[in-house]
Amino acid sequence: MPELPEVETVCRGLRKKLKSQRLEKCVLNRKNLRFEIPQNLPNLVKNQHLESITRRSKYVLLNLQNGQTLIIHLGMSGRLIFTPLLSATTKHDHVEFHFSKEKLVFNDPRRFGVVDICPTANLPHHKLLAFLGPEPLEEDFSPTYLKAKCAGKKAAIKNVVMDSKTVVGVGNIYANEALFDAGILPTRAAGSLKKKEIEKLTTAIKETLHRAIAAGGSSLNDYVQTDGSLGYFQHQFKVYGREKAPCTVCKAPLQKSVIGQRSSFFCPNCQV
DNA sequence: AGATTCGCCTGAGAGC
DNA sequence: TGCTCTCAGGCGAATC
């Protein structure tokens, strides 16, 4: 399940491979994913050089020479994989981007992903990008900012941190891990967090994401890098998926509960 | 308006 | 073996 570190890893893989390459053509093998894929997309991208590859939240942005930007979201199970131009289409290969030496295939069994196109100048107004909060690894995601966002909120801090209007890119896995590192129970009302706790949480989110990016992301079920290799941050999980296993700090059995319909893992001893 | 729930999807794994 | 059931979850939309 791609979260920010996985998407960042994918972007880095794309940059390495696609530096100043030309997108020769795009093939749509189906007309919709989570949303409908614009039918004129292949025409808009044909024979365009890639100016740059950027990321906003979990969206991969391929900026083209002609002022258009391809928007790709991996959803739950999406993959972007390089394969030889002549290799056969496999199940769930929904969109193919053909370059001179190989093709980049968007494969997504659950089809929660997105492929869209938008004039680069209009990106800030795109419906999927317009209302996003700050990037977690940027300066504007600060304790001061998070404190203001949490003020007066009764919702669980875990839900607030996973809300893309608060901060983008923090999914279930990294929310669990960051809350553990910060020593805060996921169920705590956001507005009840003290200044010190907000500071710890802000730091924990940034550090967790940095460590995960350094490990190439986490490979659970679906995620792989663009060359098919696995991320390995999942071996560093302290709480996620470790129900009843001993806490890495105090050895107490970790607990699992459902918060906002998401599995949440925590240490009842270390987190308050 | 803030908080919560729903719905889109398929594959993996459990249980029978 | 093969069926059915449950679960996983990003995130916009709908509802409370």
Q: Check if residue A111 sits with its Cβ under 7 angstroms from strand B.
A: yes
The predicted structure's pLDDT at residue A149: 95
Residues A23-52 have pLDDT tens digits of 999 999 999 999 999 999 999 999 999 999
Bridge-based pairing state of the strands A93-98 and A102-107: antiparallel
Residues A121-180 have pLDDT tens digits of 999 999 999 999 999 999 999 999 999 999 999 999 999 999 999 999 998 989 999 999
What gap in Å lies between CA A244 and CA A235, rounded to an integer? 17
Look up A58 and say whether it is catalytic: yes
Query: What percent of chain A clears pLDDT 90, i.e. is strictly above it?
Result: 71
φ, ψ of residue A106 in degrees (nearest 5): -95, 110
State mean pLDDT over A57-67: 95
**How far, in whole angstroms, is CA A152 from its chain's centroid?**
28
The predicted structure's pLDDT at residue A219: 67
Among candidate residues A3, A96, A102, A197, the one labeled active-site is: A3
Instruction: Choose the most confident range, by mean pLDDT, from A66-70, A76-80, A87-91.
Output: A66-70
Nucleotide nearest to A91 (CA to C1'): B10
Look up A3 and say whether it is catalytic: yes
Contact predicate A180/A239, CB 8 Å: yes
**Candidate from A5-9, A18-22, A32-36, A229-233 with smallest mean pLDDT:** A229-233
Residue A126 per-residue DSSP state? S
Residue with tokens 């020593």: A183
Q: Check if residue A261 sits with its Cβ under 7 angstroms from strand B.
A: yes
CB atoms within 10 A of CB A182: 23
Nucleotide nearest to A220 (CA to C1'): C8
The predicted structure's pLDDT at residue A61: 96
Residues A83-126 have pLDDT tens digits of 999 999 888 999 999 999 899 999 999 999 999 999 999 999 99
CA-to-C1' span, A9 to B10 (A)? 25
What gap in Å lies between CA A61 and CA A69, rounded to an integer? 6
Q: Give the contacts of A197 (CB within 8 A, at least 6 positions apart).
A: A182, A183, A184
Residue with tokens 């981007």: A97
